[in-house]
Amino acid sequence: MSIEEAGQFATLFDRLVRGVEEVVLGKQHVIRLAFTALFSQGHLLLEDVPGTGKTSLARAIAQSVRGTNNRVQFTPDLLPGDITGVSIFDQRTATFEFHRGPVFANIVLADEINRASPKTQAALLEVMEEGQVTADGVTHKVAGPFMVIATQNPIEQAGTYRLPEAQLDRFLMKTSIGYPDQAATVRILEGAGRRAHDSTVAAVLSAESVVEVAALARTVFVDATINDYVARLVDATRNSPEVRLGASVRGALALIRTAKTYAASQGRHYVTPDDVKALAEPVLAHRLLLDAEAEFDGVSASSVIGRILVETPPPRSGQDQRADVL
């Protein structure tokens, strides 16, 4: 990626963020994380209490891309075929015809994903990782770009099923929106006469353009010292006394991928340690499985990542190294 291309990427990125910010007020950081996940060709998990705008954010991102988008409301009686599709026997041709499910879209909103049974949740594993659905031994590809934006409520656990670690690892990022500040709340109340689903976002990119922009983000330069820094961070999660299961290799790759996109969104054609620090918590925290005693003591995965960032020294810049030599 050249300096000029990085500037163009940042301009486009800011335009997308401003459009969604008209719907989700006062949450620019979360919106930037969401588009970082989109252009890193990954999936996003939004975990927050009801009424904070999780569904509105997911719908606005889908509208900003001129492609197909579907919404699936997850419930305990939802079956895997309701998501992926089913084969139906056609009496006229005496053959089975595959009818595609809502997962065959560019952006799929999986609302309250933890309300579905583990079997239904597992139906998303193949399509999230490989971009395809296998039914009756036949593979059906989903069109690119493909992104799953899932939401879940962490407070109400009755009638819910916790996502297994294998599926959490498929989500590139996990973040929360949180409550708006007072100024944003006032703006929301001023528009109380307009229903949430009436707000629309103008499409900025076509689906084909998203694929091209994502390919451009992958060309951002990553120095060997940055790779070493990420490797040390991931290794520290595995050796932490509060952690029973540390970040996987997939998590390390995800951190590099998102750091490239994040750097380009800032108008840079190279990754810095600050890019890695900014994304470590949303990319790695949900991949950690804490020790039961640590959880009982109130330790969170986010606090573990924060401590590791403080204790793990970042690589020094070339200027610092030259100063040591002089």
Structural domain contains residue 321: no
CATH number of the domain residue 249 falls in: 1.10.8.80
d(CA 274, CA 277): 5
Residue 278 has pLDDT above 90, yes or no: yes
What backbone torsions phi and psi does residue 154 show, to the nearest 5 degrees?
A: -80, -10
Q: What is the pLDDT of residues 216-240, one digit of tens each?
A: 999 999 999 999 999 999 999 999 8
Whether residues 230 and 113 fall in one domain: no
Residues 46 and 103 both lie in one domain:
yes
Name the percent of the chain lying above pLDDT 90: 32
How confident is residue 86, by pLDDT bands cut at 50, 70 and 90? confident
| Per-residue pLDDT at 95 | 82
Which pLDDT belongs to residue 326?
A: 33
- Do 149 and 258 lie in one domain? The reply is no
Which tens digit of pLDDT belongs to each residue from 95-148?
888 888 899 988 888 888 888 888 888 888 888 888 888 877 788 888 878 899
Structure confidence at residue 226 (pLDDT): 94
Both 174 and 240 in one domain: the answer is no
Task: Decide: 155 and 176 in contact? Cβ < 8 Å.
Answer: no
* Residues whose CB is less than 8 angstroms from the CB of residue 257 and which lie 6 or more positions away in sequence, other chains included: 40, 41, 42, 172, 218
Nearest to 105 by CA among 136, 163, 59: 59
Confidence of residue 157 (pLDDT cuts 50, 70, 90): low
Has residue 97 been placed in a domain?
Answer: yes
State the Cα–Cα distance between residues 155 and 173, nearest whole angstrom.
20
Task: Reply yes or no on whether the pLDDT at 63 is more than 70.
Answer: yes
- pLDDT tens track for 34-49: 999 999 999 999 887 7
Q: Residue 129 sits in which domain range? A: 1-207
Single residue among 207, 230, 258 that ends a domain in this structure: 207
| Bridge partner list, 270 | 221
Tell me what pLDDT residue 264 has: 95
How many Cβ atoms sit within 10 Å of the Cβ of residue 297?
A: 10
The H or E element spanning position 65 is strand 65-66
Q: Within this chain, do residues 289 and 253 fall inside the same structural domain, yes or no?
A: yes
Note whether 108 and 256 are same-domain residues.
no
Helix (H) or strand (E) holding 107: strand 107-111
Both 195 and 281 in one domain: the answer is no
pLDDT at residue 133 in the model: 87
Q: Where are the alpha helices (DSSP H) in the chain?
A: 3-21, 28-39, 54-64, 80-84, 118-130, 165-168, 182-190, 207-217, 224-239, 249-265, 273-284, 292-296, 301-311, 318-325
Contact between 110 and 152 under an 8 Å Cβ cutoff? The reply is no
Name the β-bridge partners of 138. Answer: 135
Same domain? For 147 and 244 the reply is no
Domain match, 107 and 256 both = no
Confidence of residue 196 (pLDDT cuts 50, 70, 90): low
